[in-house]
A and B are shown apart, each in its own frame.
Chain A
Amino acid sequence: MSAADAVHHPDHQFDSPLQQRESLSLGMWLFLVTEVMFFGGIFVGYAVYRHMYPEMFHHMSHHLNVYMGGINTAVLLTSSLTMAFAVNAAQNGNKKRMVSMLLVTFVCSIVFLIVKYFEYAEKFHHHLVPGAHFATDPEYGDTAQIFFSFYFAATGLHGFHVLLGTICIAIFAWLGHKGHFPKEKYQPVEMLGLYWHFVDLVWIYVFPLFYLIGLT
């Protein structure tokens, strides 16, 4: 690392390469803090309404497909591993491995989005999307829409993050292939990794809170 620092001069606004690296990381982490609060709002709202309608949440969770949710969890965890490999390869200046690992991560994120598409299509088909055509067990009336409102808000916002991540990973794989991230300038790849692990993190909570509450 120190050998790379010696040849790499920081951009003019920084005192040292170390300070530059720290600033990049800090900026990304501050962004992630705002993301935690962004998703946090949905989870707080979820907690309040689940507290109000525990049985309805339990019952409505039956409509979600545990296998699809579980497969997607495994896919995201796997993509986090391959992203960690990509960052590690970038750190070590192994361009070929970095690009191939980014591509594997890209494929995983596409798989996630395809599974999500089939899940959403099923919800539309069964009239489980909140709105004028919503129809489920009359026992819970309109309150059942609350569960699916949170389901679509949480997984929709998360899915949007996955979509953005997928696009960024594709761009990074292309730029990496063109030689934009040599060993001494690998840090953008690490920032992409942080974002991707965060997306994984959100799903780690979404999965048990929506898919796994109605199995008993």
Chain B
Amino acid sequence: MSAHSHAGAIQKYIFIYLILMVLLVVTVAVAFFDLGALNLPVAMAIATVKAGLVVWFFMHVDHASVMIRFCVGASLVGLFLAFLFIFADYLTRGAAMLQMAN
């Protein structure tokens, strides 16, 4: 690794860090405004951008093999399935009760 690319990596990390700090300030600032139904989606969108920056640059997924990218994808799919099936249950409980009452 040449001296130039080493300095480049340090610069990149500092740049990412500054974006992360700005996003931290933004997420706190936004929390003081009531956006109604958008409160949660906006907070989660900012958190996901932050998480994405950490995974992609700090955890070196930008230079990672297909196998490791597959692991990142697998954890997202696993989380998605957990949310999907739990909410398929909880969100439809009221409707099922209503049908039974009729």
A positions within 8 Å CB-CB of B: 1, 22, 25-26, 29-30, 32-33, 36-37, 40-41, 43-44, 47-48, 51-52, 66, 70, 73-74, 77-78, 80-81, 83-85, 88, 91-92, 190, 193-194, 197-198, 200-201, 204-205, 207-209, 212-213, 215-216
Contacts and interface: CB of A to CB of B under 8 A. Distances in A.
Interface string B69-102: 0011011001100110011001100000000000
A32 B75 contact: yes
A215 B31 contact: yes
A73 B21 CA distance: 9
Q: Which 5 A-B pairs have the closest CB atoms?
A: A216-B34, A212-B31, A36-B75, A29-B71, A208-B43
A90 B82 CA distance: 38
Contacts of B28: 66, 70, 212
Contacts, number: 120
A40 B6 CA distance: 36
A215 B40 CA distance: 12
Interface residues of B, number: 46
Contacts of A25: 64-65, 68
Which residue, of A32, A84, A197, A215, has the highest number of chain B Cβ atoms within 10 A? Answer: A84
Contacts of A81: 13-14, 17, 58
A72 B66 CA distance: 34
Contacts of B55: 197, 201
